[in-house]
Structure 1
């Protein structure tokens, strides 16, 4: 908690501080029913195949997507590479994940997400267009967490995609989880 005084000069001493509460933006958006979480099914990389999962903002969503957190769980003994892309073009549309929920399940009725998690379990396709904004190494038998705090804002028709690669010949199982909030266009 942060305490602020109502007095602003050295000559004016206050005896009753005012309580001020700060809450994280993710809690604030969750309370409003605008924060969502979800994950892909198992993805398989290795032996020349890659996979991807991401947040896809439909052209008719009427919302901006604020990418907040990604987790990449690597269930193999191999190091993997995760490329994070903004607005990549992929030749496959991907499967819409059914493992998505608002983070605030106390609301009635539950809010519906406009943004989808899409994934391709295994592919030889590579992203085209868009921008590969950064790469991460995903350690063996571990989970990489990257908190983005909503700084990547994706309009309708755009995406925030994690493209996963392995140089191993052995197949590696990966699951990608994402958290985001949505805000209606003005």
Structure 2
């Protein structure tokens, strides 16, 4: 007789338990010297940690490559809008779980993020989607955020449009 062992990914386990969510900031427009951004914001008092699993950037117009700056715990410019395109990944649960983390976005903003840390920069080619697997290694306590800040520095006067998508899970707040 033998023992059977099954291994599943952390993201799948979080989906089974109703802790995994997906969403995207759509119709992010910029150009003529402006930028756009989308991000995951863990509100103060949420009671959860935010674990970023994956994020993607899609360039939609094809005029030039985009610059995607990834910021941790920043104050991005502009007036944010709450994105409603968010869902739990496990739709078999009833009632459906609701995320505590918010997906916010802003288009045609002037200026740059302030405070926080610009963690790194990525280039997104025209008519492409770039995917970045983080596997939960980016962790944000209540009050923290991950922002993907978009610009088109090679052709700053041209109109640009993009989409930023996220997959994340939430765990109850505890002392790390």
- Identify the TM-score tier after normalising by the shorter chain: over 0.9
Corresponding position: 1:21 with 2:6: yes
Q: How many residues align?
A: 171
Please name the residue that 1:41 is paired with.
Answer: 26
Deviations 1:44-88 (A, max 9, x none): 122201001000000010100001111111012210000001001
The CA distance in 1 between the partners of 2:77 and 2:83, in whole Å, is 18
Normalising by structure 1, what TM-score?
0.89
Please name the residue that 2:37 is paired with.
Answer: 52
Corresponding position: 1:133 with 2:119: yes
Deviations 1:4-46 (A, max 9, x none): xxxxxxxxxxxx4422111001100000000000011211122
Corresponding position: 1:157 with 2:157: no
The CA distance in 1 between the partners of 2:150 and 2:24, in whole Å, is 15
Q: Please tell me whether Structure 1 or Structure 2 has the larger radius of gyration of its CA atoms.
A: 1
Please name the residue that 2:165 is paired with.
Answer: 177
SS for the counterpart of 1:27 is helix
Structure 1, unpaired ranges of 5+: 1-15
The CA distance in 2 between the partners of 1:125 and 1:175, in whole Å, is 20
Runs of 4+ in structure 1 off by over 4 angstroms are none
Structure 2, unpaired ranges of 5+: none
Larger deviation: 91-100 or 23-32?
91-100
Deviation at 1:92, TM superposition (A): 3.4
The CA distance in 2 between the partners of 1:26 and 1:86, in whole Å, is 22
What CA RMSD, in Å, does the superposition of the two structures yield over aligned residues?
Answer: 1.1
Distance 1:34 1:159, change over 3 A: same
Normalising by structure 2, what TM-score?
0.94
Please name the residue that 1:4 is paired with.
Answer: none
